Amino acid sequence: MEERSRLSFVNVPLLVIVIGLVTYGTVIVQSATSGMPGGAGLFKRHLLGVAIGVVAMLVAWAVDYRKFKSWLPALVALDVLLVISPRIPGLGDTAKGATSWLQIAGVRLFQPSEPAKLVTIIVMAIVISRFDGVIERPRDVAKILAFLGVPLVLILLQPDLGTGLVFVAITMGMLLIGGLKARWFLVFGLVGVLAVGIVLQGHLLEKYQEDRLLVFVDPARDPQGAGYNLEQSKIAIGSGELTGKGLRSGTQGNLNFLPERHTDFVFSVLGEELGFLGAVLLLGLYLALLITALEISASSKDLLGSLIAAGLISMWAFQILENIGMTIGLMPITGIPLPFVSFGSSFMVTNLAGTGMLLSVWARRRAPQSQLSA
């Protein structure tokens, strides 16, 4: 990096896109919280989350990701610790059945499952990068899955199905870039379908989880609970029509028809108040973010950097699909927020730290002349 100009150390498009997303999200969160009791306080907390996130981004940017390689045991330990910390008596606090917090002396600090996503990305990147782009043998696959399995099983035991799915999506995206043979994806697909069948047939989930998963197939399943939320969300988004009802003028949101409207259902507020055009703007920003990240992944000097970027892409893409998808009835309802937009400091810090990791990979990339397009 010493021979590069100052400008190329910074990926300007990525910064612009992320600043755009965070600004856009801040506007929507402001609108969503404006009509809520204590909304001003919530909005301040959102801004605080952004501020902490910016610091985290700068730190991650500065850290050379290549150093992570030698920290693997410590990182795995950290991953496990983060994932089980809400279960440790005196440290954990479980709200709403699944949202797990780390707290000390009664003060809530953060949701450890959020940074755990980043740690998992790093751990999996280190493990997968060792195969140098060819993963074929069952023992290799088993070894990789074992690294995923430890935090995944623990998170599923929380139970936090949403984060578990994010872990899986991250790993799948990284395995794609990491060179796993196509037939393995076929095997994973079959296993996935089978697992869903067994879980539903055997009623292994909590009743509310099962309802939330199935309600998007049949919204009448629980009209006052999960089905009601989905229905109200769809009404909010649909009624935004092309141009929306205007900021702070959404009736579905302001009259409390929308549940969790500053967190999980923040997209419903955006869809209602800014309409299809607002949604296009957001998805355009996301597309730009993901493509830029893909470019960073492809331009990484080493496989580790590529994999870290691929993990972040997978994490965001999955969360975008899942979050927006659930608000419009395409995906089952899980508690997954919308990257860079939803209220939630742990989440915002994680996304900005992830951005910092991308910038770190970019800053240490190979010579600029051989890009993905080359």
> Given the complex with another protein, which of 116 and 279 has the nearer CB atom?
279
The H or E element spanning position 108 is strand 107-110
- Residue 166: closest CA among 151, 187, 181, 188: 151
Neighbours of 368 (CB within 10 A): 11
Q: Which stretch binds another protein (CB under 8 A): 87-95, 156-164, 171-179, 205-213?
A: 171-179
Looking at 104, 105, 220, 242, which residue binds another protein (CB under 8 A)?
242
Looking at 271, 332, 337, 356, which residue binds another protein (CB under 8 A)?
271
Q: How far apart are the first and last CA of the chain?
A: 21
328 counts as binding another protein under rule CB under 8 A: yes
In angstroms, the CA 51 to CA 349 distance is: 8
- Residue 304: closest CA among 259, 364, 215: 364
**248 DSSP 8-state letter:** T
70 counts as binding another protein under rule CB under 8 A: no
168 counts as binding another protein under rule CB under 8 A: no
> Given the complex with another protein, which of 79 and 322 has the nearer CB atom?
322
The H or E element spanning position 93 is strand 92-95
**262 DSSP 8-state letter:** T
127 counts as binding another protein under rule CB under 8 A: no
Q: Which stretch binds another protein (CB under 8 A): 45-53, 57-65, 105-113, 278-286?
A: 278-286
Question: Sign of the C-alpha dihedral, residues 164, 75, 53, 43?
Answer: positive
Exposed / middle / buried, residue 361 (Cβ in 10 Å: 0-12, 13-18, 19+): buried
240 counts as binding another protein under rule CB under 8 A: yes
CB 268 within 8 A of CB 233: yes
- Residue 111: closest CA among 89, 94, 97: 94
156 counts as binding another protein under rule CB under 8 A: no
Looking at 86, 227, 275, 332, which residue binds another protein (CB under 8 A)?
275
Exposed / middle / buried, residue 134 (Cβ in 10 Å: 0-12, 13-18, 19+): exposed
Three-class HEC string of 92-138: EEEECCCEEEEEECCEEEECCHHHHHHHHHHHHHHHHHCCCCCECCH
Looking at 4, 44, 108, 366, which residue binds another protein (CB under 8 A)?
366
Looking at 70, 246, 256, 368, which residue binds another protein (CB under 8 A)?
256
Binding to another protein (CB under 8 A): which residues in 332-351? none
Q: Residues 6-35 vs another protein: string with x where CB under 8 A? A: ------------------------------
Q: Which stretch binds another protein (CB under 8 A): 42-50, 95-103, 108-116, 298-306?
A: 298-306
> Given the complex with another protein, which of 77 and 280 has the nearer CB atom?
280
Looking at 154, 324, 353, 357, which residue binds another protein (CB under 8 A)?
324
301 counts as binding another protein under rule CB under 8 A: yes
> Given the complex with another protein, which of 104 and 217 has the nearer CB atom?
217
In angstroms, the CA 8 to CA 1 distance is: 9
Q: Which residue type does 230 have?
A: L
Minimum distance from residue 194 beta carbon to another protein (Å) = 22
Token representation of residue 145: 């899955």
Neighbours of 335 (CB within 10 A): 20
CB 46 within 8 A of CB 337: no
Q: Which stretch binds another protein (CB under 8 A): 65-73, 156-164, 306-314, 345-353?
A: 306-314
Residue ranges in contact with another protein by CB under 8 A: 132-134, 173, 176-177, 179, 232, 234-242, 251-252, 255-257, 271-272, 275-276, 279-280, 283, 286-287, 290-291, 294, 297-298, 301-303, 306, 310, 313-314, 317, 320-321, 324-325, 328, 330, 366, 370, 372
